[in-house]
Structure 1
């Protein structure tokens, strides 16, 4: 399943925490998604997944959310896109 990243950003807030996001689409999914990242030290990451624009299939959304929990490579690819955009 190919991933196309359309936007990515990462910054540090006033307390030094990492806050970032990646907007992406997946092959076979009609909707685009946005994943936001948060980490206090850049080691352990919390994330939140949402639709980037208009809502799409709830089934596909839940499938992707489960996949992010299991597929470290996919998660890391999306996180790396945000980290590479840090500026």
Structure 2
């Protein structure tokens, strides 16, 4: 699965921990995605996957989600993109 990262950001506060967002496209998918990330200590990440602008195929969304669950390198690529934009408050 080939990704094109459009935008990434992450913030850190003592109260909330790490909160990030990554906007990306997947080759062959007509709709872009947004992944939100959260971690208290930047070790284990919780995430949500959504369509970025408008709803699209639920099958494609589930395909991306399944791939993120199975492919640690792909998931880490998105986390690292957000971490590179880290702003501490």
How does the TM-score come out when normalised to structure 1?
A: 0.95
**Which structure 2 segments of 5+ residues have no match?**
none
Confirm whether residue 75 of structure 1 aligns to residue 75 of structure 2.
yes
TM-superposed deviation, 1:38: 0.3
The runs of at least 4 aligned residues of structure 1 exceeding 4 Å deviation read: none
CA distance in 1, matches of 2:52, 2:16: 26
**Which structure 1 segments of 5+ residues have no match?**
none
CA distance in 2, matches of 1:44, 1:86: 16
TM-superposed deviation, 1:16: 5.1
Aligned to 1:18: 18
For residues 20-66 of structure 1, what are the alpha-carbon distances to aligned partners after superposition, in whole Å with 9 as ceiling and x for unaligned? 01000010001000000000011010000000101111100011111
For residues 5-30 of structure 1, what are the alpha-carbon distances to aligned partners after superposition, in whole Å with 9 as ceiling and x for unaligned? 11100001351500001000010001
Quote the RMSD (CA, aligned, Å): 1.0
Aligned to 1:60: 60
Confirm whether residue 34 of structure 1 aligns to residue 26 of structure 2.
no
Aligned to 1:51: 51
